[in-house]
Chain A
Amino acid sequence: MTPALLQRRSRFATPARALFCGMSLFVGTAFAKSPALSPTNMFDAAATPAHSIVGLSTLVLSVTLGIFLVVGGLLLYALIRYRHRPEDSTREPAQIYGSNQIELSWTVIPILIVVMLFLSTTRIILGTEAIPKPASALDVTVIGHQFWWEYRYPKLGIVTANELHIPISDPSKPTPTYLEMSSADVAHSFWVPRLAGKMDVIPNRLNTMWVDPPQPGLYLGQCAQYCGTQHAKMLLRVYADTPEQFAAWAAQQKQSAQQNLTNPVAAEGREVFLHSACINCHTVAGTIANGRFGPDLTHLASRDTIGAGPIKNTPENLRSWIDDPNIMKPGALMPSMHLNQHDLDVITAYLTTLQ
């Protein structure tokens, strides 16, 4: 699928680039593929859906820039050429009421441009939304929550949160990841600009999108549909792993939490955790904690961030988060449990063992 699509894209892009070479250059330099510009630059595409959008947008930007230069130039010329000068006679200028030929020409030319743009756009829509799913695809279920992401890998039996791991996709042997998306509460939107355009995540509705980054790396994004108080800190982190890395990650994530803790502090923390209200909302596989309202914590310590992206996963941050999530993320739905200092210490120690 991917090579054929890439070929189609390049066939479409070559004449367009030739036609609008100069303008493309201008647009190209304005948004050079510089990762230094921003880690979420839509023109710095890293997967097929994002690439095909860059191709289409280069065409659209070139055409609109051309229209702007022509119409804006004529307008500027007319404003300067036909301005009233003090030496002008007081006679009114010749009154011209219209011309059907001219009207016809500036109706037909825009129609032709519209048809051209429409066909180019349709090609990209069909190439992204109406292609069959390959058998080698990995399925991930994405569930939006106020204000975090739940990821389930039904074929692998993995449940995780906020940090999505996918395998890279070799263009010669594509293994794209298909995301089936829905929401547990209000509408959200999944937007990682370097991988693909956004797709809304809507309750009581199933949406699908796919990504296939060929290069390993971390791709950032965030929720793009206003979903309540902490919409701003509902970030997206997509880790594209090499096949070996991904296999290792998956093997680790399939395991239940360690039962026999050697560290006595962590073991005490485990008891406090399992006897507090934490387990109503959180799951730790292999224990009685099986809540579904908050993120699965079975492998919390293997993640780089907490709080759906904005906070580094260090023991200090974790402790402060458990103490009162509303300090670092006001409006987060996790309440402060009013734990004493000792309980905070031991629970933090326990959670850091959840590799």
Chain B
Amino acid sequence: MANANPVWEAIDETPTTRPRRLVLEVVHDWVTTVDHKKIGLMYIAYALIFLVIAGIEAMLIRIQLAVPNNHFVSPQVFNRLFTMHGTTMVFFVGMPILFGFGNYLVPLMIGARDMAFPRLNAFSFWISAFGGILLYFSYIGGSGLYGAGSAPDIGWFAYAPLTAKVFSPGHSTDYWTLAVFLSGIGSVGTALNIVTTTLCLRCKGMKLSRMPLLVWLYLVQGGLVFVAVGPLTAAQIMLLLDRYLGSHFFDTQAGGSAVLWMHFFWIFGHPEVYVLVLPAFAFVNEIVPVFSRKAIFGYPAMVAASVGIGFISLSVWAHHMFTVGLGAAGNTFFVFATMVISVPTGIKIFNWLATIWGGKIIFAVPMMFCVAFLFQFLIAGLTGIMLSAAPFDWQLSASYFVIAHFHYVLVGAILTALFGAFYYWYPKVTGRMMNETLGKWHFWLFIIGFHLTFDFMHIPGLLGMPRRIYTYEAGRGWDNLNLIVSIGGFVQAIGILIFVYNLIRSRTQGDIAGHDPWDAWTLEWAVPSPPPSYNFAVEPTVNSRRPLWDLKHPEDPDSDYE
């Protein structure tokens, strides 16, 4: 490693030993903070808590479905469980955990000292967190004055007119509406912050064409949030108007349209999939090159593919509605748009493959998760192609095949990449390494459990098992498959418990990490671990996409080739 190190020399490395503080002072510090790193960590912690809650809901669902004609929970409880599981995982686990990583990493990777709007950042976090709490308060307050239902039981996409006052009395649906509404406000705030930060606060020399791919993907993700969350928020307001002020947007009894809600929801809902998966791509884009010891292959193509996915994803929503009876012309258009999105997605997979090709691959835990991501995302993409062929979808839609497909994306791709990201950036955040042995236990248990659950889950869908049924009769060919799926769920849960233990244990007992434990190339590894609150003492200057590579290899810098 080279000694001449202008960026590092600029860093103030005075040890920050502070006197012991009272608990109240610590709490006050976290509640009032506007530091992007602390807000990022709060996002992640809050998402992890909801991950455990929604995970427990998933386990209860799997116990109920493990055997036919089971009476473990009532249909009412089951319907609440899958509604809360879906809503929580999408709005209060997926979005916040990815925003948490974005908040923490984007300013560090572009050489900025904080986000563009630190107070908006704090506001966005607290309003989203309030949304999550409001959703779960429905278990207490949902019965309201009318005594019907507690938690919402309308499904996470809440198709009209099941949400109308006549079919969903009580207040549980209102808690769902308001929780999602608040989460949307927080999401738009954070997206605004990420986009502005990326466009305005890059350090000297960091042209858009030199931005780390992670930052590019968060930029596209922020743009998608702007476009996608608006319709969802509008639809929530319309639903509230229907329920309380006598409007008839979705009130089919009075001439309203059930299909209108579907359009509003999926115009949000499909870009939302990309809002969640683009950050997963972002993590893989950073981790795969470092552990292959090679620059990312085809950076301009990767950027173009990301932006392309962003645009195309806005025109595919009605592939969730192939069974609605849109007619041959409508179906054909959305088949084409949906199939086309596989082209930029394919480009990404091929570029990751080419990055690995000719490298020296180090199978540390972050890389192991990324390798699993590559295979699982490939399969998720291919089952996506099956679903995009509308007639095939007429059979598969709303069956367990679809459930298996989107869990392959959400768990097999997004959560798997997230685990890689946790192992990769944990040393930067805490200054200590996560335990490698526990990490490998976590990896294998989780991956084996994942495949037991979600590989086998495809088959009952092909055999006619619809989603969201609280029980089924024996003799449909679904029994053994569902039992395997349920067992796999518990194996995954054990893996995740080991992860949580590792997370807590390594905080005090992990090996000291130092600035740059992975010999990586982006700016966050140039500052101490954990980074000081101001990040960079002196604004860094970069000449290429991999500033730390240039410092480590002054004889052969990237800037000669870009």
Contact = CB atoms under 8 A, between A and B. Distances in A.
A198 B323 contact: yes
Nearest to B364: A84
A220 B464 CA distance: 9
Contacts of A40: 463-465, 476-477
Interface stretch (A95-103, A166-174, A261-269): A95-103
Interface residues of B, number: 96
A232 B339 contact: no
B554 interface: no
Residue in B167, B327, B340, B360 with the greatest tally of chain A CB atoms within 10 Å: B360
A125 B332 contact: yes
A78 B357 contact: yes
Interface string A86-127: 001000111111110011001100110010011011101110
A305 B85 CA distance: 34
A284 to B, nearest CB: 27
A78 B356 CA distance: 7
Contacts of B297: 96-98
Interface in A144-201: 146, 185-187, 189, 191, 193, 196-200
B534 interface: no
Interface size class of A (residues with CB under 8 A): 35 or more
A355 B387 CA distance: 44
Given A82-B359, A103-B301, A129 B331 contact: yes
Nearest to A129: B328
B350 A106 contact: yes
A193 B336 CA distance: 25
A232 B395 contact: no
B246 interface: no
A67 B377 CA distance: 13
Contact of B359 (A61, A93, A202): A93
A125 B325 CA distance: 12
Interface stretch (A12-20, A134-142, A221-229, A292-300): A221-229
B390 A232 contact: no
A38 B478 contact: yes
A103 B348 CA distance: 10
Given A82-B360, A83-B363, A96 B295 contact: yes
Interface stretch (A51-59, A244-252, A275-283, A341-349): A51-59
A205 B331 contact: no
Interface string A53-88: 100110011011001100110110011001110001
B75 A230 contact: yes
A305 to B, nearest CB: 12
Interface string B345-371: 011011101101111111100000001
A189 B35 CA distance: 50
Given A53-B394, A197-B395, A41 B358 contact: no
A106 B391 contact: no
A43 interface: yes
Nearest to A329: B75
A4 interface: no
Interface stretch (B9-17, B132-140, B172-180, B254-262): B254-262
A205 to B, nearest CB: 7
B288 to A, nearest CB: 11
A120 to B, nearest CB: 8
Contacts of A56: 389, 391-392
Contacts of A71: 349-350, 353, 378
Nearest to B350: A106
A204 B347 contact: no
Interface stretch (B103-111, B155-163, B423-431): B155-163
Interface of B: 74-76, 79, 153, 155, 159-162, 167, 252-253, 255-259, 292-295, 297-301, 323-325, 327-328, 331-332, 335-336, 339-340, 342-343, 346-347, 349-351, 353-354, 356-363, 371, 374-375, 378-379, 382-383, 385-386, 388-395, 397-399, 462-473, 475-478, 553, 556, 558, 561-562
